[in-house]
Amino acid sequence: MLLTNPEPETLEMWRHFCTTKEKVMLVSCGEKCAWCGAEEKTENIYQGLFYVYPIQKYMRWPEYMEYYYWQDKKSS
């Protein structure tokens, strides 16, 4: 029996801000982040846009996380 999928699998990726790599990472769907072990389902809680008050912009969760991560670094 052949195990090849007749339909080429689309490479779905999910994004998250990785505190280990200190940047937004792309991870294949169904896989954990290789760097920090974050799972897609954990990140999926944070759908939608988040308002970043200091720069008056809406951002997605990974970018929002990234923004505040570097804000914290600057202020400490």
| Sign of CA pseudo-dihedral 69, 47, 42, 39 | negative
Range 14-73, binding Zn ion (CB under 5 A): 18, 33, 35-36, 38
Q: How far is the CB of 54 from Zn ion (least distance, A)?
A: 25
Of 13 and 51, the one with the shorter C-beta distance to Zn ion is: 13
End-to-end CA distance of the chain: 59
Count, residues near Zn ion per rule CB under 5 A? 5
| Distance, CA of 53 to CA of 24 (rounded, Å) | 20
- Residues forming contacts to Zn ion in the complex (CB under 5 A) are 18, 33, 35-36, 38
